[in-house]
Amino acid sequence: MTTPVVSVVVPTRNRAGYLDVALGSLRAQEGAPPHELLVVDDGSSDETLEVAGRHGVRAVAVQKPGGLNAARNTGLTETTAPLVAFVDDDVLVPPGWLAALAEGAAHHAHVDAFGGPITARLEGRAPRSCGREDPPITTLDLGEEDAPARMVWGANFAIRRSAVQRIGRFDPTLSGHGDEEDWLMALLATGGEIYYLAGAGLVHRRTEHDSRLGALARAAWHRGRAARHTDRRRGTAPPVATELRNIAGAGWHTVRRLCPQGLVMGAHSAGRMAEALRGR
């Protein structure tokens, strides 16, 4: 077999429907260098392994769920390429994504970590947006040109194996927020660099069911709690009064703009407040 230039790792747990779409798009890459695909099944009880097999993708099953960073570490152990790309299981990857990633990494040979554009796609009848709020799921847009970046996000990022040997692996105790961020911050602290590759973009999906207002609000509430927990761990958590002002601001946005997605913003702020009160 040809030695892979890139290893693509897809951590997943109990989201076989999303995984099916992600793997279909990853198997349809055009002009890509030699690469390997790996699914890390973090203790799923659904058809995850069957989906991977149907696409002809190797899967490693972990019996006891360990979280996203533990799954990423398993991916590092089970793959061999000098560049390791991680994507979430709920993405749709354009045909030229992997070629653009590999080309960018080769061009910026001194850089240790890379990320690309992440575009939100809410499928079905998603709540209306007034356009003044951020999308309710992770996105990234740093422009149309490659550029240094202070941070990229885990739905679409890649690291050199040599940097892992220098920095260490992902912290498996982190879950729900800051999973890859802490590793990237450690990389920057040691003089490493992160680069944004404008051509290596992908789509971050939510199905019709998960695009409904209630589902988006519940997910935002959990993200808010996790974000506040991360801030407290880093010693950067704002005062409770600030969290209250954010809740009020989201409520004002909802009423003033007649914007349903303001409720999603409010749910995120409410999650942060709940975690703030729990930690007092």
Domain with 72 in it: what CATH number? 3.90.550.10
Mean pLDDT of the chain: 95
Higher pLDDT, 131 or 207: 207
Lowest mean pLDDT among 38-52, 82-96, 116-130, 139-153: 116-130
Residue 196, in any domain of the structure: yes
Residue 167 pLDDT > 70: yes
Same-domain status, 190 and 234: no
Same-domain status, 130 and 41: yes
Q: Residue 158 forms beta bridges with which residues? A: 85, 114
Same-domain status, 191 and 233: no
CA-based radius of gyration for the chain:
19
Of 206, 225, 250, the domain-final residue: 206
pTM, two decimals, is 0.94
The mean pLDDT value for 28-49 works out to: 97
In terms of residue numbers, what domain contains 189? 6-206
Other beta carbons within 10 Å of 109: 7
pLDDT band at residue 133 using 50, 70 and 90 as cut-offs: confident
- CA gap 276, 280 in Å, rounded: 7
Of 176, 206, 236, the domain-final residue: 206
Q: With contact defined as beta carbons under 8 Å apart, do 38 and 59 qualify?
A: yes
What pLDDT, on a 0 to 100 scale, did the predictor assign at position 161? Answer: 98
What pLDDT, on a 0 to 100 scale, did the predictor assign at position 280? Answer: 67
Same-domain status, 55 and 186: yes
Residue 1, in any domain of the structure: no
What pLDDT, on a 0 to 100 scale, did the predictor assign at position 1? Answer: 60
Closest CA relative to residue 122, chosen from 133, 132, 134, 136: 136
Residue 176 pLDDT > 90: no
Using CA atoms, how far residue 247 sits from 253, 264, 266, 271, in Å, is 10, 11, 5, 10
Q: Hey, what are 218's tokens?
A: 């519940």
